[in-house]
Structure 1
Amino acid sequence: MPWKEVSVMGERQEFVRLALAEGANRRELCRRFGISADVGYKWLARWQAGDRELADRSRRPHVSPLQSSAAVETEVLAVRDAHPAWGARKIARVLEDRGQHAPAPSTVHAILKRHERIMPPVGGAPATQRFEKEAPNQLWQMDFKGWVRLGDGTPCHPLTMVDDHSRFVPCLAACADQQGVTVRGHLERTFRRYGLPDALFVDNGAPWGEASGERWTRLGVWLLKLGVGLLHSRPYHPQSRGKNERFHRTLKAEIFDFARFSDLAAVQRAFDAWRELYNFERPHAALDLDVPARRYRPSSRPMPEHLPEVIYDEGEVVRTVPSTKAYVSFKGRKWKVPKAFCGERIAIRPLDTDGRYGIFFAALRIAAIDLTTKQSVSDLSEQVSAISPG
């Protein structure tokens, strides 16, 4: 009968003693103990060599020519311990960039698994459809990551900006709130260092949009004056800003999952150090394991010293929107404009249809006038784009 696991060594010792008895039929004993003749003779040889325990021995070979050296394993584990959220491909690329011996990613994965460094994957299935701008600064994705409560009880609202083409992060700020004036301050500092992007891609919440549903904000008007477009994602479709969403998961995995911060200053210090690492050292899977800085260059459009004023052609009908009332007068009637344009100069231009005019801020149409109706307030609410900015 087969040996019982609970008394395996006792069974082996009994077999050997019986097999060593004078006149023993060893092959018959092997059959009765449920083992092969080779196994039976192996136990006899070990017993005669002085092994009285007959315990299981490791089947691991004495020499493993394909196993990584201790030095390589130490290098792999050092990178992993410094960056616990990095996977095998990133670690292998970092070692290669340092000029060190870089094993294959599969080997790195085996080392991490052997040393119990493998963590469950974060997030759901990867996206199967992507868009990417052709050059840096054509589009930056900007958003607030979900707020985090700090040790002193105050909230931290991480403001993130990611260049769509290179994944370079020009700004990562620990903010106390999500107000437009806060965002503008960080944008000004970022624009002065990296120049102006062509457009920013944002969601529809504050400070990018008003709670009332009105599309334009003072922040958006300020960006218009700088020549920076403001593109809004489809409502309830955060996946259209996938790069920013993915960046937020990485930020959580590599910053907030491993530390608790006492105050905003401590978060900002961590952000500054990690942003440097992210841009210049951390391989990015979507860039074929290149780093964002190798694909990024600052914008050729510098931040102006003074905010440009909108200039209209001579002979155009120009009005200044009152600072306290969001309307302009035309043809004896008052016409509504978005309140974000209060205090700004606008132009009224005829459209193709008689009796209909557009209200423009520079080249952008922001409202409409229809003299054929009795209604004196006609606001043109710009519709949210239904597509991603591909």
Structure 2
Amino acid sequence: MIHRNAPLTPTGRLRLARCVVDDGWPLRRAAERFQVSHTTAARWAHRYRRQGPAAMQDRSSRPRHQPRRTPAAREEHVIHLRQEHRIGPLRLAARTGIAASTAHRILKRRGLPALAACDRATGEPIRRYERARPGELVHIDVKKLGRIPDGGGHKVLGRAAGRSNQQRRPGGGYLYLHTALDDHSRLAYTETLADETAPTCADFLVRATAWFAQCGITVERVLTDNAWAYSKTTWRQTCRDLGIQPRWTRPWRPQTNGKVERFHRTLLDEWAYQRPYTSEAERQAAFPDWLDWYNYHRPHTGISGHTPASRVTNLSEQHT
């Protein structure tokens, strides 16, 4: 990488070398013209004579001879342990008797990514994807959420009192957050419903499709997990009536539907558990404002800090 204060770029080096080699300039004259030292001008002229324009590019500063480099057999042992046990540099260092920094350099030299960037089940690097246009694929999932009884739950009253209030007052149990998330824009539509049965899921899809249509998005495919409600004829028939192609993730592979899974985590952190609520009605009243903020105002790190609405044609201008 070129230093920001470097007097010569590869193009400047080539010009200097051609002045010396092709045009016959004295080294000192060329050095003065390009504002570098005499030895620098001689070095680039010498490389140009031997290898031509290709030699003007930066070279690695790694020494040609490294007598203290980790032996190849030990490197292979480190790689074998990493692939078999899926462990990081600290545990590799403990098993092989080398420094953790050395284990890290070996993994980096072999092109192995960090464990956080690998699939837990297979150890393979996670392959990230994004559809080219809004509506090409919509992720759908359900998040089960405990209701807050009137008077508050454990976040307001403490564990013991909150558990007692949950049992004593009406309004306990669970509610279900049904979410449809566009793969390209990350625009989200969420409803709080009483269950996750097949008819409920199918009706939610109808309303979600209508909402996306109002935003100028035509839903082409939906991706769900293999839950019972999404495998019934009701779901398939609803998709057929709407002209949508249903897709399902592989069993035990929630990462395939990871965008909506990540949305639910954001939803819990920034709305459901963001502050203590004294009732479920109070929490639900705060939800529309949060969802509006997420879709239209919140910078999304997955799309380079843009808002989901900014990725849908004219949607951000239509919002007030």
Answer 1 or 2: which has greater helix percent.
2
Larger strand percent: 1
Q: Which has the larger radius of gyration?
A: 1
What TM-score do you get using the length of structure 1 for normalisation? 0.40
